[in-house]
């Protein structure tokens, strides 16, 4: 499942989060601003690192509506929610307190997990050593910095796999943007090319960044143009309104901007 977090304008009170499931369905909810990493993204850090198979995000990935799960998880008597979802909420609450404090106090963090779990009538999720607590805090702080560096209307795309303990990772999915016929496609193609070259020049893109173009005229009166963005360009792809897609065949693709070996690098 992909999480697509979009930062709204400075005048908005909340940002937006979309959940794009592997089967193509999606849901979403606003993310109220709280001066630190948004609550839902703290969930992403906690559930990714702890490898929860029935946490909040796992329930959403399985088809639950994100707004309903969140309402249940925030209730003191949240017995309707799976045990791990409630445990995850307790860890999230304790981790947020550490982010607001601006420095990690491991003992206070572990105590906070115990207290928040007791308030929800569940046993705390076991975090037995300071190293794991430190890893949670460091990952949340790293994601917070990435989020804070986003410009208004910028998006952060994250990949979530239920029950897999790992470091939070960027998505590995390609994105595609249909531009219509060749004549109308010229302006957006130039904008995409300029954006990619500008970010490469500023060293703002990871390896494997490339935008490719396909001109398809088979069975059509006019040639249809589609731009394909490699996974390294996912944030830029979303800024232009591209949608997730599978990796396209190399035949018929022309590099619009980026690295010559970007198609091979994104295998």
Q: Are residues 7 and 90 in the same domain?
A: yes
Last residue of a domain, one of 124, 140, 169: 169
Residue 241 pLDDT > 90: no
Alpha-carbon distances, residue 60 vs 76, 95, 120, 185, 219 (angstroms): 20, 21, 20, 37, 40
Largest CA distance in the chain: 69
- Which of 5-14, 49-58, 108-117, 142-151 shows the lowest per-residue confidence on average (mean pLDDT)? 49-58
Q: Are residues 184 and 221 in the same domain?
A: yes
Residues with Cβ within 8 Å of 234's Cβ and at least 6 positions away in sequence, in order, are 157, 170, 171, 173, 175
Six token digits for residue 210: 């490339």
Average pLDDT over residues 179-183: 87
Q: Are residues 135 and 228 in the same domain?
A: no
Q: Are residues 81 and 141 in the same domain?
A: yes
How many angstroms separate the CA atoms of 102 and 140, rounded? Answer: 12
Residue 128 pLDDT > 70: no
Q: Are 197 and 233 in contact (CB under 8 A)?
A: no
Question: Which residues form the domain of 246?
Answer: 172-265
Q: Are residues 113 and 70 in the same domain?
A: yes
pLDDT in tens, 63-88: 888 887 755 555 554 454 567 788 88
Q: Are residues 151 and 178 in the same domain?
A: no
Q: Are residues 206 and 156 in the same domain?
A: no
What is the domain count for the chain? Answer: 2
Q: Are residues 185 and 112 in the same domain?
A: no
């Amino acid at each position: 499942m992909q999480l697509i977090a979009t930062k709204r304008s400075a005048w908005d009170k909340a940002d937006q989060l979309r959940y794009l499931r592997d089967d193509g369905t999606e849901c979403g909810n606003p993310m109220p601003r709280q001066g630190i990493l948004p609550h839902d993204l703290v969930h992403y850090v906690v559930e990714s690192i702890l490898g929860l198979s029935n946490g909040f995000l796992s329930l959403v990935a399985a088809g639950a509506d994100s707004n309903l799960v969140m309402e249940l998880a925030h209730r003191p008597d949240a017995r309707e929610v799976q045990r791990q979802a409630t445990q995850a909420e307790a860890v999230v609450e304790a981790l947020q307190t550490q982010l607001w404090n601006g420095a990690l106090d491991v003992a206070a963090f572990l105590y906070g997990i115990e207290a928040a779990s007791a308030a929800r009538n569940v046993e705390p999720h076991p975090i037995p050593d300071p190293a794991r607590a430190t890893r949670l805090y460091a990952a949340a702080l790293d994601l917070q910095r990435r989020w804070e560096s986003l410009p208004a209307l910028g998006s952060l795309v994250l990949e979530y796999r239920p029950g897999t303990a790992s470091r939070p990772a960027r998505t590995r999915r390609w994105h595609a943007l249909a531009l219509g016929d060749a004549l109308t496609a010229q302006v957006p193609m130039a904008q995409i090319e300029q954006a990619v070259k500008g970010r490469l020049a500023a060293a703002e893109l990871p390896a494997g960044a490339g935008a490719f173009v396909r001109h398809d005229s088979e069975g059509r009166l006019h040639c249809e143009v589609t731009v394909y963005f490699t996974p390294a360009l996912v944030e830029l792809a979303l800024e232009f309104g591209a949608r997730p897609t599978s990796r396209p065949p190399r035949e018929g693709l022309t590099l619009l901007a980026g690295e010559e070996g970007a198609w091979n690098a994104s295998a």
